[in-house]
Amino acid sequence: MENEIDHNKKYQLDMNMNTLNNNDINILDLPDELLLCIFNKLHTIEMLYSLVNVNQRFDRLVLDPFYIHHLDLTVKPLLYHNSPVNNQIFDRIRTQVLPRIHHKVNKFTVEPLSMECILGTIDYSELNSFSP
C-alpha cells in the first residue's frame, strides 16, 4: 500500500512538472496591443522587411493604414552603406511590400538615392508629401 502511495505521488509530481513545462508562450499568443508595442520599437524598414508576409495577423497589424500612412524608409546611420544585404532588404520592401500599400501612403521620407526607385515604379495616389 505504501509503495502504491509513493507511486501515485511520483505520478502526480511528474504530471505537474509536465504541465509546467507545457506552459511555453509563443509570440502569437500575445494580444494585438502588446504586439503593436513591440512592433513600434522597430524601425520601419526592419518592421516591413521582417514582419510582412509572416502570417495574416502580422500583415493586418503591420500594414494597418494608421501605421503606414507615413513611411520613413531612411536608413539608420550605422546601416548606411551600399551593401548587398541592404540592397536585398530595400528590394524586398520595394517589390513585395510597397505594391500592397501604395494606396495607403500619404507621406514618404526616403534617402535621396532611393527617390527615383520608389517613385518610378508605383503610383501613390494618396501621397501628399515626399521628404528626402
| Domain chopping of the chain, boundaries | 43-132
CB atoms within 10 A of CB 90: 20
Tell me: pLDDT of 49 over 90. yes
Residues in the chain: 132
Q: How confident is the model at residue 95 (pLDDT cuts 50, 70, 90)?
A: very high
- Is the torsion defined by CA of 38, 39, 43, 45 positive or negative? positive
Mean pLDDT over 9-31 rounds to 67
- pLDDT band, residue 78 (cuts 50/70/90): very low
Could you give the CA distance from residue 120 to residue 71 in angstroms, rounded to a whole number? 17
| Residue-averaged pLDDT of the chain | 81
Degrees (nearest 5) of the Cα angle 125, 35, 89? 55
